[in-house]
Amino acid sequence: MSPCAPGRWLLALALAALLAGCSLPPLEGRSESRALSAAEARETPLGRAVGDLAAPRPGLTGVHTLEDPREAFAARVQMAQLAERTLDVQYYIWRDDITGHLLLEALRAAADRGVRVRLLLDDYGHAGLDAELAALDAHPDVEVRLFNPFPFRAFKPLGFITDFSRANRRMHNKSFTADNAITILGGRNVGDEYFGATDGVLFADLDVLAMGPAVAQVSSAFDAYWVSASSYPIASLVAPPPAEVLAAIRQRTALVERSEPAATYKQAVRELPCYGSLVRKDYSLVWAPAHLVVDDPSKGLALAQPEQLLLHHMAEAVGVPARSLDLVSPYFVPTDAGTDYFAGLARTGVRVRILTNSLAATDVLVVHSGYARHRQPLLAAGVALYELRPDPREQAAKAARRDEGPRMPGGSGSSGSSLHAKTFGVDMERVFVGSFNFDPRSAKLNTELGLVIDSPELAGAIAHVFEVRAPRSSWELRLDPGSGGLRWVDGSGRSVAVEPMTSWWQRAAVRLLEPLPIDWML
């Protein structure tokens, strides 16, 4: 035996012990719970207010769009404050930042009043919050579960090595439901960048607040995810924090609560009139038929059948566009099949308009590479393409605040606003608002949900984006009639042949990534 052999054996034994500790705990013994029944929901103050509003409109769902990030934050807090019986909350990302902590405290305050809180988070998107979540879970009226968790908590990326197939499938759903009476769903995660509270990338996003029949569908979907084979109680994965950690959490929470940004958000909650208006029955809503489309949670373990997927339900609910398709997607990776679909629609006379992030605005450079090579075929077929233009004033202001070095490819590609809304309108009659990106990851890997709403009014609002707002805030892409190359045209008609507001290394990185067969992961 060589002198080094004992060291190798010890290393092998240590690795074996590490991997042995990377197995998930059993699911037996999970608590059982369900959303409020329709009758129970009607007995809550929110349920009675919704019932009074919905009574003259049987079968219709009331919808209010949440574009303003401060209103979107305040709406969630007010729902937590007005809930009497239950809060069911489901998110992909929950940041360890100011708005993340404020919303955790809103959930805790609701539980202190006796509201049952169920919080289901994807385990990839809450870095640094294990102790806070475990402390929240210790509350007698709160339970926290993690979707497709990483058993080795100290270094989660190890899970991609030991169980890649499962770890690569994430829960991308976003919903916030109070008393099975009102829900918020859409594209926003929980974090400062989604609520306009950061100097970094500010995601232009869209949620809908809904009440009526669609809420029961959201609650039913939440129940299915809550009891799925991918949802693990955090108590089975994270030990309760010791007293000194709890004290540090309380101290940090107090500092966050007293901070100037927190004061701004608390003011937004106080100033938002919508829920008082709801109780007074003068709240403005669009009432329309609406239907939830959602992936079966078994998709998280690659066990869902095609008819259980959101794409199948969406095709049934939306149908084939006959006149127009207006699509807004931050991470648009159409693949060859999708490019053929959109091009085919355009060639048959359907007006197809697509708004996505430019290279200057995207926060995920590698995803832009999966879109870039499809631009010329789409334009050649008659598809209109718009790419969001970052506000140069935001970039200049941020550059003045700190001296920035060059960013590495794959990191944040923008220092200003970035598109994050996921919505589309069909034939000026129907709209979709949800978490679904038009990319292979949303279609095949991540779980998603969204609301299909039969509303010409909301479909017209999406068309307005392309007719008024997109020309002002985006570049329209065109083919150069001479060379066949791309040109980016701003609202004043000025055009350039190089991706605007980008550096040479960003463009070089995209060109290097474009030929790689990685679309299926994007």
* Phi/psi of residue 241, nearest 5 degrees: -65, 140
3 state SS of 225: helix
* Residue 205 to residue 207: CA distance in whole angstroms: 7
Nearest to 170 by CA among 238, 217, 230: 230
Provide the total of helices (H) and of strands (E) in the chain, helices listed first: 21, 21
Which superfamily, per CATH, for 29-279? Endonuclease Chain A (3.30.870.10)
* Residue 62 to residue 178: CA distance in whole angstroms: 15
- The domain defined by 291-521 carries CATH number 2.40.10.120: no
CB 232 within 8 A of CB 24: yes
Residue 409: its pLDDT value, please? 24
For 289-404, where are the E strands, in sequence order?
290-294, 324-328, 351-357, 384-388
CA-to-CA separations, 261 to 66, 123, 197, 256, 382, in angstroms, rounded: 21, 27, 7, 8, 46
CB 477 within 8 A of CB 387: yes
H or E stretch at 319: none
Q: Do the first three CATH levels of 29-279 and 291-521 match, i.e. the same topology?
A: yes
Taking residue 89's Cβ as centre, other Cβ atoms within 10 Å add up to 25
CB 221 within 8 A of CB 434: no
Catalytic machinery residues:
172, 174, 179, 420, 422, 427
Report domain extents, the chain.
29-279, 291-521
pLDDT of the chain, 522 residues: tens digit per residue: 444 455 555 444 444 445 545 689 999 999 999 999 999 999 999 999 999 889 999 999 999 999 989 889 989 999 999 999 999 999 999 999 999 999 999 999 999 999 999 999 999 999 999 999 999 999 999 999 999 999 999 888 888 999 999 999 999 999 999 999 999 999 999 999 999 877 666 678 999 999 999 999 999 999 999 999 999 999 999 998 888 888 888 888 888 888 888 888 888 887 776 555 665 555 678 999 999 999 999 999 999 999 999 999 998 888 899 999 999 999 999 999 999 999 999 999 999 999 999 999 998 899 999 999 999 999 999 999 999 998 655 554 444 333 332 222 223 333 357 889 999 999 999 999 999 999 999 999 999 999 999 999 999 999 999 999 888 899 999 999 989 999 999 988 999 999 999 999 999 999 998 888 888 777
